[in-house]
Structure 1
Amino acid sequence: MFKRKLTISDFLLIVVNLVPLYGVWFENWDARQVFLVYCMETVIVGLINVVKMACVTIFVKKQDVWENGGSSSMQSGWLFIFFFIAHYGFFVFVQTQIFFAITGMLPDGSMLMRYSKIPALLGPNGRLLLLIFIVYYTAQNVFSFFSSGEYKTISMGRLLFQPYLRIFVQQFVVILGSIFLSFGAGKIFILVFVVIKIFFELFVNLDRLLEIAEKKQRLKDQLKK
């Protein structure tokens, strides 16, 4: 399912992702720091989704249908949120652990102490890029979510899984990129990475694919009944 028309937000996405590409190629930014920012992008997307889920639970509906192995039941919206934090957090943990293991960026030590080193590892350019990502994704996701009225109709199940399709693509490319970084091919792979990321973000309608999957699941549940 492909998008047919680009929006202003899509063009802004292109600009945001060209910033790190320009920095690495022409301003001698550290490619490892840029890929670390993309790892943190996963965290940003997850935190924003938690905020969206919490707002739906508080202001729209306290409960929604929970699908579990072919059966369904009404559950609190907070259950969806806690499940998302635990499940999504596991993906983030695996992604960052693989990235740090391959690149060797994090020093030895306890897990808490190692992760506390991330702000320093980002450096000035990485922190600037991270701030740009935070502003962009907050504005893009939160503003459109509420201004379009989507928060009034979206199911908690669909909202729960919204970030996953993007994250699967991103995790694969970031992990593959970390391997290239270990061989000193950061510039080449940052180019490939940005091109792939922009393509999936702009031309593959992931939300539409998720909507179709949700409808098929509902149809199957109805046929079983």
Structure 2
Amino acid sequence: MIRTILFPNQKNMLVWANALFLLALLLMQQIDALTVVFAYFLETIVIGVIHIVKLWMVSSEGKVPQSEKGFQLRGIPLILFFMMHYGMFVAIQSIFAFTLFEAAVPEITNSFAILDNYAYVLSVPGMSVVLASLIVTNLGYFYTNFWKNQQYKQYTPGAILMKPYVRIFVQQFVVILAFFFYLLFSAGTIAAVLLIVFRLLIDLAVVALHKDSDVLDTLAKKFANSPEAYEEMKRKYQEFSE
């Protein structure tokens, strides 16, 4: 199973390509460590924008909510609600991140000046290339794992609403860990390499849980104690890959 998860294949080739591309840029000194760290924070916004598209698709063609609780949000009202609470999450995360960056980046002097700080982050040399690679990777994964296989037809709008947060929390933990390496040991390149490798391992594990994968089937069989539980476990594990 480990071989299936880690070795390059058709499902994870975008993940591998992006990681190798970033490592090549870093080792050839085309970008610096902070560019990588900043880019992964910006990816949070990319994930949120793509999730808005997912919510629209599920609201239009997904399952109809069956609930005794009455009316449930869908379509534009649900998207606006998501934008509100996700925007608050990004704002709080940004303030925390920029507070960390103040110690290492002279251009960041006020962690609450979010727009000014993001303007600086976007102007960092090499950021456009790195951010473009992350956008392409996320769009490719969205197409293959959600659109192409019509996975959006398997969800109600409410069921998919909170899906980005698990991935975001894991991602930010890894980014913050790498940033502490950067601050404590003044080992910028090492911290960036660790960040890219950690993210690669996490993304490979997530991609391996795609629909009908051997890894998904093996995990479900291992932890299920009945046929009904097996199907439920498959569904829950697969949700981590959305």
Using structure 1 for the length normalisation, give the TM-score.
0.77
* Equivalent residue, structure 2, for 1:220: none
Does residue 147 (structure 1) correspond to residue 159 (structure 2)? The answer is no
Letter in 2 for 1:88: Y
Letter in 2 for 1:128: V
* Equivalent residue, structure 2, for 1:37: 39
* Equivalent residue, structure 1, for 2:88: 90
1:115 corresponds, among 115, 118, 121, to 118
Give the Cα–Cα distance (whole angstroms) in 1 for the partners of residues 188 and 209 of structure 2. Answer: 28
CA deviations 1:67-92 (Å, max 9, x no partner) are xxxx8443121343233222322332
* Equivalent residue, structure 1, for 2:132: 131
* Equivalent residue, structure 1, for 2:236: 212
CA deviations 1:123-181 (Å, max 9, x no partner) are 2x121111111122112203542221112222223322222221111111112222222
Letter in 1 for 2:170: V
Letter in 2 for 1:197: R
Letter in 2 for 1:90: M
2:189 corresponds, among 178, 187, 190, to 187
Structure 1: segments with no counterpart, 5+ residues: 216-225
Local SS of the residue matching 1:128: helix
Q: How does 1:156-195 map to 2 (within 5 A)?
A: 156-183=157-184, 184-195=186-197
Letter in 1 for 2:117: R
Which structure carries more relative contact order (alpha carbon 8 Å, separation 6+)? Answer: 1
Q: How does 1:40-119 map to 2 (within 5 A)?
A: 40-57=42-59, 59-60=60-61, 64=65, 72-77=69-74, 78-104=76-102, 105=105, 106-108=108-110, 110-119=113-122
Letter in 2 for 1:113: D
Local SS of the residue matching 1:36: helix
RMSD of Structure 2 on Structure 1 (CA): 3.1
Detail structure 1 runs of 4+ shifted over 6 Å in the superposition. Answer: 206-210
Paired residue total: 208
User: As a proportion of its length, which structure holds more strand?
Assistant: 1
Letter in 1 for 2:71: M
- Shift in CA distance, 74/103, structure 1 to aligned 2, threshold 3 Å: same
Structure 2: segments with no counterpart, 5+ residues: 211-215, 217-232
- Shift in CA distance, 180/28, structure 1 to aligned 2, threshold 3 Å: farther
Per mean C-alpha deviation after superposition, the further-off stretch among 33-42 and 200-209 is 200-209
Give the Cα–Cα distance (whole angstroms) in 2 for the partners of residues 42 and 2 of structure 1. Answer: 28
CA deviations 1:47-70 (Å, max 9, x no partner) are 00101111222x32596357xxxx
Give the Cα–Cα distance (whole angstroms) in 2 for the partners of residues 214 and 82 of structure 1. Answer: 26
Using structure 2 for the length normalisation, give the TM-score.
0.72
Give the Cα–Cα distance (whole angstroms) in 1 for the partners of residues 64 and 159 of structure 2. Answer: 14
CA contact (8 A) 1:21 1:194 kept: yes
